[in-house]
Amino acid sequence: MARKKIALIGAGNIGGQLAYLIASRELGDVVLLDIPAKEGVAKGKALDIMQNGGVDDFDCKIVGTGDWKDAEGADLLIITAGIPRKPGQDREDLIGVNLPIIRNVAENAKKHTPNAMAIVVANPLDAMVYEFKKVTGWPRNRVMGMAGILDTSRFSFFLAEAAEVSVKDVRTTVLGGHGDQMVPLISYSTINGIPITEFLPKETIDSIVARTRKGGGEIVKLMGTSAWFAPAAAAIQMATAIFNDSKRVLPCAAFLEGEYGYEGIFMGVPVVLGKDGVEKVVEIPLSPEEKEALAKSAAAVKSVVEICDRT
């Protein structure tokens, strides 16, 4: 039986961490692809990780490359190609520089890996994944964005810390675009089934919601570039659910075709992830306030998507 082949498009901070996680969990073989000028970085990271196999006890073939031909036959693409944020920038500020990059990636994906599934990570996420789908013409089950798992993991961590409980017991969900208007859902967030309102006062929860919305920016401010450990882990959770056909219910950016009242845009919603990718978009009832917050987030997503459509 063939091993899975995963092509990581972008061999930067997230790409390198993705390669390490895939190798150490033996999820499949990896192609670590960057622009020709960064081929040495891709090859160097590939060697560094493979040389770790004897110490950490894993087998994995990683090919560092600047050539899309090496990606041919990939089952899955995880796309981080693009420029990350600098302090003071919103994700939306990256559209000008990252739009030509995602177009180039999508053209190559269409040509070299026409049957692959794609998880887009590059920002501004909801617009990048939209453009990727538009250029490739791939169906919605095969194209998805990683954001919701990361946003919920931040939300869960802040709640666990404040409530002084294990983060393993915190279950949260976040809807909407991967921007400061995202909608952390208090009504669907529990500590092993117990509403978080039983553990924390409203003011604390409100300040955690605000911190979650700017959770990425907090890290950019500290490091001068964006996060990579949690983003890579989140994309790997999606890949694992697909490879194992686990039918996990996870928040991902999915192309909406009327769900939640939206059509033709990607937004974070709970989906069922299995061997066919996004197998189902799960719709949950929302309060009038939650609907209003989602509408604001959708408007922010649409304003960036419009830039894609008119540029």
The contact set with ligand APR (CB under 6 A) reads: 9-15, 33-35, 38, 80-82, 84-85, 94, 98, 101, 104-105, 121-123, 225-226, 228, 231
The full 3-state SS of 18-33, as one line of letters, equals HHHHHHHCCCCEEEEE
Shortest distance, position 161 Cβ to ligand APR, whole Å: 23
Nearer to ligand APR, 224 or 261 (CB): 224
The active-site residue out of 178, 228, 302, 304 is 178
Shortest distance, position 38 Cβ to ligand APR, whole Å: 4
Nearer to ligand APR, 172 or 226 (CB): 226
Q: Are strands 62-65 and 117-120 parallel, antiparallel or unpaired?
A: unpaired
Nearer to ligand APR, 10 or 28 (CB): 10
DSSP secondary structure of 39-84: HHHHHHHHHHHHTTHHHHT----EEEES-GGGGTT-SEEEE--SPP
Residue 112 appears among annotated catalytic residues? no
Shortest distance, position 126 Cβ to ligand APR, whole Å: 12
Burial class (CB within 10 angstroms; exposed 0-12, middle 13-18, buried 19+) of 24: middle
| Residue nearest to ligand APR according to CB distances in the complex | 12
Nearer to ligand APR, 160 or 232 (CB): 232
Nearer to ligand APR, 179 or 277 (CB): 179
Query: Within a 10 A sphere around the Cβ of 281, how many other Cβ atoms?
Result: 19
User: CA 172 to CA 6: how far, in whole Å?
Assistant: 29
> Token match 């919603």: residue?
269
Backbone phi and psi for residue 281, each to the nearest 5 degrees, phi listed first: -95, 125
User: CA 113 to CA 5: how far, in whole Å?
Assistant: 11
Shortest distance, position 104 Cβ to ligand APR, whole Å: 5
User: CA 80 to CA 192: how far, in whole Å?
Assistant: 33
Encoded tokens for 123: 């920002």
Backbone phi and psi for residue 195, each to the nearest 5 degrees, phi listed first: -55, 140
Shortest distance, position 200 Cβ to ligand APR, whole Å: 29
Annotated active-site positions, please?
178
